[in-house]
Structure 1
Amino acid sequence: MALNIRQMEILELARATGRVAVEDLAERFDVTLQTIRRDLGELADQGVLDRVHGGAVIRSGVSNIGYEERRRMHEDAKAAVARACAARIPDNSSIIINLGTTTEAVARELLTHRNLTVITNNMNVANILVANESCEIMVAGGALRRSDGGLVGDLTTEFMAQFKPDFAIIGTSALDADGDLLDFDMAEVRVSRAIAALARRTCLVTDISKLERSAPVRIISMRDLDMVFVDQNLPAPLMQKCAEWDTQVIVAD
């Protein structure tokens, strides 16, 4: 079934933001709530959106959303989370930064820090931090993933195993309600697990929309983290678990 013009615009909005709300769409297009619900239902039937309470989200599956789409999604939230994280990274620190558009936002916020040592398997992070002349950058070897500039594989994991940084800054593709971090690529997950196990303090940077996504591979649990930087409060049951696990949740301003 072909999409009408409004449905194509709704899909484009969903791709840009990750989520659309029925009431917002009804106001935007000056149509009834029932019309928007029908549109979302038809988009869900086409396999491009998943219905959630009050709206819809980009469909999750066994493959990730394209890098450029992910980079544009929730840009303001990512920037706020990145600022909150970078504010807690002191000068003269050593940091491992892994793959992801939110970790790249953290790298941009570290441009004014002094005397950092940054180890990364993210070519985009390395290219961002080249502008910080006081930052020593160490890039892992491995297989280059052209889609997002990531380096993954056994060689990458072995390289990371040589370090014990002050901080690990990691991202995730999805968050489960039980506190598990999830991803799509097993090779990337092995690197992320190694990074999290090595650092003195492991920090997750994410936005709340990741709770609306799913991915098939478990990375680690929030119980294994020291800090979680997020743009909004996590659901109360998950906040309670983090308190029990002594995992500090920092909500960005």
Structure 2
Amino acid sequence: MQFVLTKPIQVRGLQKSYKQLQVLKGVDFEVEKGSIFALLGSNGAGKTTVVKILTTLLRPDGGSAAVNGFDVSTQSDHVRQTISLTGQFAAVDEILTGRENLVMIAKLRYLKNPRQVADDMLTRFGLTEAADRRVSTYSGGMRRRLDIALSLVGKPPIIFLDEPTTGLDPEARIEVWKVVKELADGGTTVLLTTQYLEEAEQLADRIAILHEGRIIASGTLAELKSMFPTAKVEYVEKQPTLEEIFLAIIGKKEGK
């Protein structure tokens, strides 16, 4: 199928079944260039299936999808050259150091000056001081930052993040949020899947809610809020959230 390249990601009527279970029942959405698009849904909603199809790891049963103007079914090689995928669990070699991981990926992508590429990524993701430590000594947040850095070697214009903060503590989650925002600010198109409402609220330019194999709502956060009647406003003293309390305490401890 031929696509006119107007959006980096275009999905039309996407369908997928596993044996007798239909996971995707006609999914439609588009993603703007340089934006963060959040695909929100509970476990089993079909989010990862959508990502696997768009990254050519799985063939759809029906409908069509294009990434950077290339059909994911018939032009998969071209799709792979323009994307990067970060899965739910960090795909890093724990025996190697952070620098060695980055140099290895740069060499696999036939980039010039792989050590310089690695140094640039270490600086960009705040990992310079830990560069020559084995990844097995990294915290969860550091591993995830390294994982995203590995995904960006070669500067892919489109990146898929499949539940990137699963299993991370609040502090590490905020670290990842910062990185994702910086990616979009730099012109990278980001498709993010998440089951965390706050994550979608914090990051996304547009949000699509996937439920039982279909997109049941889509739009900006303001547009989604406008679908519901305004709640009665009551003026009460604002109480800090548990996350705010946790980060404040951590900050004080580190300042000692």
TM-score, normalisation: structure 2: 0.31
RCO higher in structure (CA 8 A, sep ≥6): 2
